[in-house]
């Protein structure tokens, strides 16, 4: 995702040499990345001054990113997030098919919540109110924010589909109160109200694709806003057992490369108080709050790897046992999100939803897996 493998080798060597282990010093962790990030940023600025937009774009799009993973919990990680956003915004604007950042009022937010919702908004060239396009709304995950999930924009643009990319509550720039069970509904209502006002969007073809932790919100929004979406895809999400104390007590040493339980606690507004989060997290369960028993649900596709060690596949079984019927595709012998097979499964499903005749292989080739410069 906008990265070059070779750039990370000296960073990994340094982290290994310094013996980074739990509990992590997140400021020290972020600092290891900064010299390379500053070097790449300087290259981007130089290329832009020289008029090489393609090169400048490529360098802008991956500075500071991994230094703020899995969440900007320290001062230097927060600095990395802010600087990374600035660079990514420049890179997105320089692309052959540019993407702009839009900020809208969070008009349904409560007094103590953020007042604005920032997101990436892309329309394919030639889009007008007389030639409206389908729209894919992408919910990001626990650690991949809009600066990362923007990798999907180019492929959708080439299929003449618009894209919105934004963060889920408790991550990135989401204004929603992460602890409040009902805050997601308010944020999505503000977002969908704005989408309804965009004449260049084909409002009969608005779909949502959510990744990982975003999949939890996809399942939720498919029930709470079933009338606002033509279809919803929850990739690698969860709904119930992901919040269980037993599961949260083991996930730090399974598939996820960081301290997953601690990061989830931080994301849901508990800061460093992991033990309290483990005791209270089940209140976010979509079984416990009755979401899965609601009678109406948007067309919903559940996709995940059977051997997921981040969110248990059992959660999707729970979805199937309640409420309206859903569509499901499990990927055998794969872990979290069922990569890479899951992507083609989802793209085909969305093509059918939009009435597009296309090959997922062609779209997957647009992912920036290799850098030119």
Q: Collapse the DSSP code of 58 into the 3-class scheme (helix H, G, I; strand E, B; otherwise coil) and give the result.
A: helix
pLDDT digits (tens, 9 = 90+) for 71-118: 999 999 999 999 999 999 999 999 999 999 999 999 999 999 999 999
Given a cut of 80, is residue 3 above it in pLDDT?
no
pLDDT of 7 reads 86
At 133, give phi and psi (nearest 5°). -120, 155
**Annotated catalytic sites, by residue?**
212, 308, 336
pLDDT of 371 reads 83
**Residues sharing a CB contact under 8 Å with residue 204, sequence separation 6 or more, in sequence order:** 230
Please name which of 207, 235, 196, 244 lies closest in space to residue 331, comparing C-alpha atoms: 235
In whole angstroms, what is the distance from residue 81 CA to residue 172 CA? 8
Which residues share a beta bridge with 104? 117
Residue 277 vs residues 217, 236, 287, 335: alpha-carbon distances, Å: 18, 21, 18, 25
pLDDT digits (tens, 9 = 90+) for 201-230: 999 999 999 999 999 999 999 999 999 999
pLDDT of 222 reads 98
pLDDT of 196 reads 98
Lowest mean pLDDT among 60-64, 108-112, 169-173, 339-343: 60-64
Task: State the residue for tokens 């720039």.
Answer: 173
């Amino acid at each position: 995702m906008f990265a070059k493998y070779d750039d990370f080798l000296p960073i990994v060597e340094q982290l290994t040499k310094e013996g980074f282990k739990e509990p992590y010093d997140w400021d020290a962790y972020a600092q290891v990345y900064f010299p390379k990030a500053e070097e790449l940023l300087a290259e981007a600025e130089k290329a832009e001054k020289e008029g090489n937009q393609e090169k400048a774009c490529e360098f802008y799009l991956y500075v500071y990113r991994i230094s703020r993973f899995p969440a900007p919990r320290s001062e230097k990680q927060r600095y990395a997030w802010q600087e990374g956003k600035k660079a990514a915004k420049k890179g997105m604007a320089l692309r052959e098919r540019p993407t702009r950042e839009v900020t809208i009022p969070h008009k349904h937010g409560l007094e103590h919540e953020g007042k604005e919702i920032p997101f990436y908004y892309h329309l394919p060239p030639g889009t007008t109110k007389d030639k409206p396009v389908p729209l894919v709304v992408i919910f990001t995950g626990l650690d991949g924010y809009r600066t990362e999930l923007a990798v999907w924009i180019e492929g959708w643009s080439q299929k003449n589909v618009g894209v919105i990319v934004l963060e889920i509550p408790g991550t990135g720039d989401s204004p929603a109160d992460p602890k409040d069970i009902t805050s997601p509904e308010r944020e999505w209502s503000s977002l969908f109200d704005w989408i309804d006002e965009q004449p260049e969007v084909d409002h009969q073809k608005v779909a949502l694709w959510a990744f990982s932790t975003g999949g939890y919100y996809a399942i939720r929004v498919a029930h709470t806003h079933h009338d606002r979406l033509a279809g919803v895809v929850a990739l690698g999400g969860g709904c119930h057992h992901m919040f269980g104390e037993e599961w949260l007590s083991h996930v730090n040493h399974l598939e996820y490369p960081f301290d997953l339980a601690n990061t989830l606690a931080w994301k849901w507004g508990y800061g460093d108080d992991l033990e309290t989060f483990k005791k209270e997290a089940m209140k976010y369960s979509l079984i416990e709050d009755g979401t899965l028993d609601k009678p109406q649900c948007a067309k919903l596709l559940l996709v995940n790897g059977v051997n997921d060690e981040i969110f248990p596949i059992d959660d999707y079984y729970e979805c199937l046992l309640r409420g309206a019927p859903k569509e499901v595709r499990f990927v055998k012998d794969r872990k979290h999100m069922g990569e890479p097979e899951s992507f083609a499964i989802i793209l085909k499903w969305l093509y059918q939803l939009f009435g597009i005749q296309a090959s997922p292989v062609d779209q997957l080739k647009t992912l920036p897996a290799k850098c030119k410069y």
